[in-house]
Amino acid sequence: MLLVAGTVACTGACGNAPNNSNDNSQNRPRVPAASAQPAPASGPRSAPGDGAAGADGDWTTPGRDPGLTRFSPLDQITPQTVSQLGVKATFSTGFVRGHEAAPLVVGNTMYIVTPFPNVLYALDLTKPGLPAKWTYEPKPIASAQGVACCDVVNRGAAYADGLVVYNTLDNRTVAIDAASGQARWVTTLDDINTGATMTMAPLIARGKVYVGNSGGELGVRGWLTALDLQTGKQVWRAYATGPDKDVLIGPRFRPYYEKDRGIDLGIHTWPGLAWKQGGGTAWGWVSYDPALNLIFYGTSNPGPWNSEQRPGDNKWTAGVFARDADSGEAVWFYQLSPHDLWDYDGVNESVLVDLPIGGAMRKVLLRADRDGYLYVLDRTSGQVLSADPFVHVTSTHGIDLKTGRPMENEAKHPYVGTVVRDICPAAPGGKDWQPTAFSPRTGYLYIPANNLCMDFEGVEANYIAGTPYVGANVRMYAGPGGNRGEFIAWDPVARKKVWSIKESFPVWSGVVATAGGVVFYGTMEGWFKALDAKSGQLLWQFKTGSGIIGQPVTYTGPDGKQYVAVLSGVGGWSGAVVAGQLDVRDATAALGFANAMTDLPQATTRGGTLYVFGLP
């Protein structure tokens, strides 16, 4: 029934049977494509364009490896030494909007992408104070700022084969020569007049650059595109709505669940031509499994938020695609939120690990989803092995593992002209874009989570290209306990929370986990924290100049010492009240997030700075 061509044959009854994983004897979590990669024997430390992680001391792609584990094999910084961490260098980016990017480190150079206007700095790690070697300014169209839904952020660059590749807010993918700072190629992929922008970080694998658009709040038709790494020419594009040929659905497509099967569902699960403005943008993360030669990514919420204007399941929005990395053909799809009612976008990262489940090592995909559930999927088939709530959930009663459908709570169903209260999680979900990290040492997934609920009123949405297409009045507030954020260590095998730290504000930063047994994350007040990976004990913290919503990284400097780097600079959807100087007297400001963040302007101020921490 379920044949994934060329890889793993599996039947519907395979839930308890071992798949043909090549190592069933090893009964501990593994990170298949990540840090086990040895450094190249000679030549500069670099990530080849085949999707491997860089050398141990490098950080060449925001997820660190193509499985997006954000786990570093470095171990000089340990629970014993971490208290000696101090600031080794700082660098002002010159901009005040939200800094969500991960710094990259390749050899002796660090690369930082700023929010709009998307300047790329190359910093020299060999010199005191990290002076800039060169600066690349793409000068994006200023009007692009007016179609970026949730602050003018950028989530970073990716490096391979001597090129630093990233997206600009005005829909260009640029490849910059890492040595000279000159553009090798620039490819324009969409038009701001449709409402499209680009904010995601590319993934590079198989000599290709995978990029997607943003604009699920502006009725943009979502796509993921593969570009040739050397030339920037488009290899394929897969839309998230419309006919099967546009979605690259063909004979290899074998969704696990009945609900995701059928012809041209990208048209038939929409009223009329609504699919043309239906969202499903790929603004989150792309991961890659070299053994299966599949890429995995999520599609955004359907547009508009007002669900009464789009009866149907709204394929292929709010779900996960597995595609052939070379041809782009869809191999499976799992719709997390069919006919999404609450902006439960499906773009969150799919972390690729092998876990002992049901007595066998399984190739799985971990997703801390917007809907508040921690999904463990068999990444060869798209089967949901488990789905457990990791935050307070009232919108659904659970996920039906037989049908793959969420069991919606009818009492929380929004309608036009009705205010539905206490919908948890709120629109930004149990976790938004901010990426998790997985440590194969502890076996825990570290989740930067939100504890937010919302009131929701549907209103009529008018589609005017290049303007918002939302149709909802929303106001958010803290969930039970009053803390708006939580940092959670989750055991995906035992399917339970191991420990957690309550945070006043949503935890909107990324996470890094290390072989030294330490995890790092930042708070929206600006604290950068180090925890014991095993126990969750707070070991060290430092107050940076602004709230942290960036992705921390760790690397080995030219002196052979381990460093940790993070961009400080509040903003993003959660921090828009500060970055955009919004007026919190309006509960619906920032699509309702402002109501939950009225005290953020007292807690932090805006401004982007890189911080580098190291041991004495």
Which residues bind to another protein, rule: CB under 8 A? Answer: 142-150, 217, 419, 455, 457, 459, 462, 464, 466-470, 473, 475, 576, 580-591, 594
- Specify the residue, 268 or 421, whose C-beta has the smaller distance to another protein: 421
Cα–Cα nearest to 143, from 199, 193, 217, 198: 193
Please state the three-class secondary structure of 524-565 as a single string: CCCEEEEEECCCCCEEEEEECCCCCCCCCEEEECCCCCEEEE
- Specify the residue, 60 or 197, whose C-beta has the smaller distance to another protein: 197
Contact (CB, 8 A) for 428 and 475: no
Question: What is the separation of C-alpha 229 from the centre of its chain, rounded to a whole number of angstroms?
Answer: 22
Beta bridge partners of 299: none
CB of 202 to another protein, least distance (A): 24
Contact (CB, 8 A) for 352 and 297: no
- Specify the residue, 5 or 419, whose C-beta has the smaller distance to another protein: 419
CB of 456 to another protein, least distance (A): 8
Rounded Cα distance between 409 and 233, Å, is 46
Q: Which of 118, 293, 301, 450 is catalytic?
A: 301
Tokens of 404: 């793959």
CB of 391 to another protein, least distance (A): 24
CB of 421 to another protein, least distance (A): 10
Active site residue 217: yes
319-324 sheet: strands from edge to edge = 286-289, 294-298, 319-324, 330-335
Active site residue 301: yes
Rounded Cα distance between 234 and 236, Å, is 6
CB of 595 to another protein, least distance (A): 9
Residue recorded with tokens 């074998």 = 254
Rounded Cα distance between 376 and 401, Å, is 11
Tokens of 310: 């789009």
Q: What are the residues whose beta carbons fall under 8 Å from the beta carbon of 199, sequence distance 6 or more? A: 148, 153, 154, 155, 167, 169, 214, 283
- Specify the residue, 149 or 393, whose C-beta has the smaller distance to another protein: 149
CB of 417 to another protein, least distance (A): 8
Biggest distance spanned by C-alpha atoms of the chain:
66
Q: Which of 190, 329, 343, 503 is catalytic?
A: 343
Q: Which helix (H) or strand (E) holds 123?
A: strand 120-124
- Specify the residue, 137 or 258, whose C-beta has the smaller distance to another protein: 137
- Specify the residue, 474 or 489, whose C-beta has the smaller distance to another protein: 474
Contact (CB, 8 A) for 154 and 140: no
Q: Which of 65, 217, 340, 503 is catalytic?
A: 217
Active site residues: 217, 301, 343
